A and B are shown apart, each in its own frame.
Chain A
Amino acid sequence: MPKISKTFLLIFSLALIGAGSIVWACGGGDWDETEYSNFAPEAFVDHQYSPFFYNSWQTYYGTDVNDNSNTRYNQQVSEDWLGYLDKNIAQKDLNILLFSTSYGGIDSAYQHFKGKLNTLPAGLPDLKTSGLSKKQGDTFFSYLLLAKKCEQFAVSNVTYYWDEKVSLVTPAPEIKASLFKAFKKNRDVFVKQRYWFQLVRYAYFEELPRLNADSSAGPDNSGLVTLFKQYENSFPKNSIYYRALGYLAGHYYKRQDFARANYFYSLCYNFSSDMKIPSKWSFHPQEEKDWAESLQLAKNKEEKITLWQMMGIVHDEKRAIENIYLLDPKSEKLDLLLSRLINKIEVPNHESYMDSTLQIMVAAEDITLVDRIAVKGNTRKPYYWNMAAGYLHALHGDHIISGKFYDQAKLQLPENDRLMEAQYRLLKWSLYLSQLKKIDSNAESEMVADINWLADLRDQKDTVGGLRYQRALSESISGLANRYKMQGDLLKSNCFQSTTAFYARDENIEAMKSLLGKTNKTPFEKAMLRYYPYHMGDLYYQQGLMLVYQEKTDAAIALFEKSGENAAHELLANPFNGRINDCHDCDFAAVQTKKYTVLTMLRTIKAIKKEITAGKNLYTNNDLLANVYYNITHYGNARNFYQTEITGADATSAIDIPVAFRPQFTSSKIAEKYYLQARSAAKTSAQRARCTFMAAKCERNDIYNVTYNNPANEKKYYWDFDFETIPAGRYFAELKSRYSTTAFYKEILEECGYFKSYVNKP
Chain B
Amino acid sequence: MLRKTVDNHLYLHFFDVVWNEQEQQVLPNGLLTVQCPLKGLTVTPVVYITNQSLKNSAPAQMDSLAFKVHRLLSRLTAKQAVVYENIQVDCDWSVDTRAKYFTFLRAFKQITGKKLEATIRLHQVKYPERTGVPPVDKGVLMFYNMGRISADLNARNSIYNYEDAAAYTAALPNYHLPLDIALPLFSWSIQIRAAKVIQLYAKISLQDLSDRQKFEPVYGKAVHVYKALTSFYLKGAYIKKGDLFKFEGMDTASLARAAKQVSEYLAPLENRNIIYYEISSINLPLYAKDIKDLSAYF
Contact = CB atoms under 8 A, between A and B. Distances in A.
Nearest to A319: B231
Interface stretch (B21-29, B124-132, B138-146): B21-29
Of the listed residues B68, B71, B238, the one surrounded by the most CB atoms of chain A closer than 10 A to its CB is B238
Nearest to B196: A349
Contacts of B71: 162
Contact of A213 (B20, B23, B35): B35
A723 interface: no
B38 interface: no
Interface in B94-128: none
A617 interface: no
Contacts of B232: 288
A349 B194 CA distance: 11
Nearest to A21: B22
A162 B28 contact: yes
A291 interface: yes
Interface stretch (A120-128, A279-287, A428-436, A552-560): A279-287
B240 interface: yes
A289 to B, nearest CB: 8
B27 A214 contact: no
A698 B88 CA distance: 63
Contacts of A291: 233
Nearest to B230: A288
Contact of A160 (B28, B196, B231, B234): B28
Given A24-B21, A159-B20, A162-B72, A287 B235 contact: yes
B21 A316 contact: no
Interface residues of A, number: 23
A250 B31 CA distance: 22
Contact of B29 (A160, A213, A319): A160
Nearest to B64: A162
Contacts of B20: 159
B38 to A, nearest CB: 14
* Residues of B in contact with A, size category: 20 to 34
A349 B195 CA distance: 11
A161 B27 contact: yes
B73 to A, nearest CB: 11
Of the listed residues A24, A286, A288, the one surrounded by the most CB atoms of chain B closer than 10 A to its CB is A288
Interface string B189-217: 00000101000000000000000000000
A361 B196 CA distance: 14
Of the listed residues B20, B22, B233, the one surrounded by the most CB atoms of chain A closer than 10 A to its CB is B233
Main secondary structure of the interface of A (DSSP, over half): loop
B236 A212 contact: no
B48 to A, nearest CB: 14
B207 to A, nearest CB: 15
A127 to B, nearest CB: 37
A275 B15 CA distance: 32
B33 interface: yes
A315 interface: yes
B27 A316 contact: no
Interface string A352-381: 000000000100000000000000000000
Contacts of A284: 236
Of the listed residues A291, A315, A361, the one surrounded by the most CB atoms of chain B closer than 10 A to its CB is A315
Given A212-B33, A315-B238, A316-B238, A160 B27 contact: yes
A314 B231 CA distance: 14
A159 B27 contact: yes
A159 B23 contact: yes
Contacts of B68: 162
A286 B232 CA distance: 10
Contacts of B21: 24
A316 B235 CA distance: 16
Contacts of A287: 233-235
A291 B236 CA distance: 10
Given A21-B22, A319-B231, A160 B31 contact: yes
A159 B234 CA distance: 30
Contacts of A316: 231, 238, 240
Interface in A703-750: none
Contacts of A212: 33
Contacts of A285: 233, 236, 238
Interface of A: 18, 21, 24, 159-162, 212-214, 284-288, 290-291, 314-316, 319, 349, 361
28 contacts: A21-B22, A24-B21, A159-B20, A159-B22, A159-B23, A160-B15, A160-B27, A160-B28, A160-B31, A162-B71, A162-B72, A213-B35, A214-B35, A284-B236, A285-B238, A286-B235, A286-B236, A287-B234, A287-B235, A288-B232, A288-B233, A290-B233, A291-B233, A316-B238, A316-B240, A319-B231, A349-B196, A361-B194
Interface of B: 15, 20-23, 27-31, 33, 35, 68, 71-72, 194, 196, 231-236, 238, 240
Given A287-B234, A316-B231, A319-B231, 17 more contacts: A18-B30, A159-B22, A159-B23, A160-B15, A160-B31, A161-B27, A161-B28, A162-B28, A162-B72, A213-B35, A284-B236, A285-B233, A287-B235, A291-B233, A316-B238, A349-B196, A361-B194
